[in-house]
Amino acid sequence: MGSHLTISVPTDQILVVRQNPETHQRESVTMQWGLVPSTAESLAIGRRLIHARAETVATRAAFRDAFRHRRCLIVADHFDVGRRKAIEMKDGRPFGVGGIWERWQQGDESVDSCAVITTEANDLVRPINDRMPVIIAAEDYDRWLDPNFADAEELQRMMSPYPADEMVVVPDG
């Protein structure tokens, strides 16, 4: 599984690609896994907001502004599905998991955090788990990261289960 670009435990720092809000250029940064809304009183809420469901990310209060304006790609080369199994691409390449991000600031403290968007499992994952991360196709990266792209139907299509025939189950660990 190569370098193990993995999403491990909530509050870990993970590698994220986003459009910089000031320069509008694509950048890779590390963020805390576990979304902390800008209006939160403390960072503790991030432990509970690690996943956002594709079916409700556009409408749920905790996620809708981030989904509308701050989508990101979380870099991974596999994801764990339980029972010491993981899923990776057949060709072993890294991929972009659909996510959302927020900036929380209180006084001098500022934290960028993110959540993984999940969708229903594809045919490969379903026997092991009923949910899987949204994997954004490479040809959709630009539109996914563009905060001005707001075509709800197209965004929903991007959050469909990734094709099972392009993935494999491998032992984890």
Q: What is the pTM of this model?
A: 0.93
Alpha carbons within 13 angstroms on the beta-carbon side of residue 6 total: 15
1: pLDDT strictly greater than 60: no
Longest dimension (CA), the chain: 49
Question: Would you say residue 6 has pLDDT above 60?
Answer: no
Q: How much helix, strand and coil, in percent to the nearest 5, is found in the chain? A: 15, 40, 45
Task: Tell me the per-residue pLDDT of 87-139, one tens digit each, with 9 for 90 and over.
Answer: 999 999 999 999 999 999 988 989 999 999 999 999 999 999 999 999 999 99
Q: Is the pLDDT of residue 21 over 90?
A: no
Residue 81 CA to residue 164 CA, distance in Å, equals 14
pLDDT tens digits, one per residue of 22-58: 899 999 999 999 999 988 888 888 888 999 999 999 9
Query: Could you identify the residue written with the tokens 């909530």?
Result: 10
More reliable by pLDDT, 41 or 10: 41
Distances (CA, A) of 90 to 27, 48, 78, 95, 96: 27, 32, 11, 12, 15
> For residue 7, what pLDDT is reported?
55
**Higher pLDDT pick, 10 / 7:** 10
Q: Which CATH architecture has domain 13-160?
A: Alpha-Beta Complex (3.90)
| Across 74-94, average pLDDT | 92
